[in-house]
A = this chain, B = another copy of it.
Amino acid sequence: MEQLSLANPVFATYAIAAGIMLLKGVAMSWQTVFTMMIENGGFRNPEDGRKTPFNPKPHDRQLEPNPRVERTRRIQMNDLENLPYFFVAGLIYVTTAPPLWLAQVLFYGYVVTRALHFWAYMTAQIHDVRAMLWTPGSLIILFMAGASAWAGLQAAF
C-alpha cells in the first residue's frame, strides 16, 4: 500500500488534521483583514492611506500600529512559526508507518492544543497559560521530526 495516500488511515488522519490547520492558518489572514476594516486602521503600506472605494475617508492615523490589528498579526506570525513545521514533520512521520492510535494522538492533539492556544492568545490570557498551550504542539513537532530523522538514518545506513 502507498503510505502517502488516503487508503492509508494514518495519512487520512494527517489530511484531516493538516486540512483543519490550513483552514485555521489562512483564516488568520482574513481575520487580520477584517480587524483592519473594523478598526479602520493598522495599515502597513503608504498607499493604503489613499482615498479609494474601500477607504472612502482616509485619515493620517490609519498607518499607525493598532493594538487589535497587532494582536491578530502576532497570532498569524505564531502560526507561521509553527504550522509549516507541523505540516512537514507530520508528512514525513506518516512514512515511518507509526501505529494509527499514536498518529491520532499526535495529529489531533496538535489541532486541539493549537485551538486552545488561539483562544488564549485572542483573549489575552496571561503568558503562563499561553505558554502551557503552546508547549505540547511544539513537543509534538519535535517528536515527529526526531522520529523521521531516526527512521531515515535506519533506512539509509
Listed in ascending order, the chain A residues whose CB lies under 8 Å from chain B are 2-7, 9, 11-16, 18-20, 22-23, 25-26, 29-30, 33, 43-48, 50, 52-55, 67, 71, 74, 76, 80-85, 87-89, 91-92, 95-96, 124-128, 131, 138, 141-142, 145-153, 155-156
Contacts and interface: CB of A to CB of B under 8 A. Distances in A.
Number of copies: 3
A138 B89 CA distance: 21
User: Secondary structure of the A side of the interface?
Assistant: helix
Contacts of A148: 15, 18-19, 22
Contact of A6 (B88, B96, B131, B142): B96
Given A15-B155, A29-B81, A81-B76, A128 B54 contact: yes
B95 A152 contact: no
B145 A26 contact: yes
The 10 closest A-B pairs by CB, nearest first: A19-B149, A15-B152, A22-B145, A16-B152, A12-B155, A6-B155, A12-B156, A19-B148, A84-B84, A87-B88
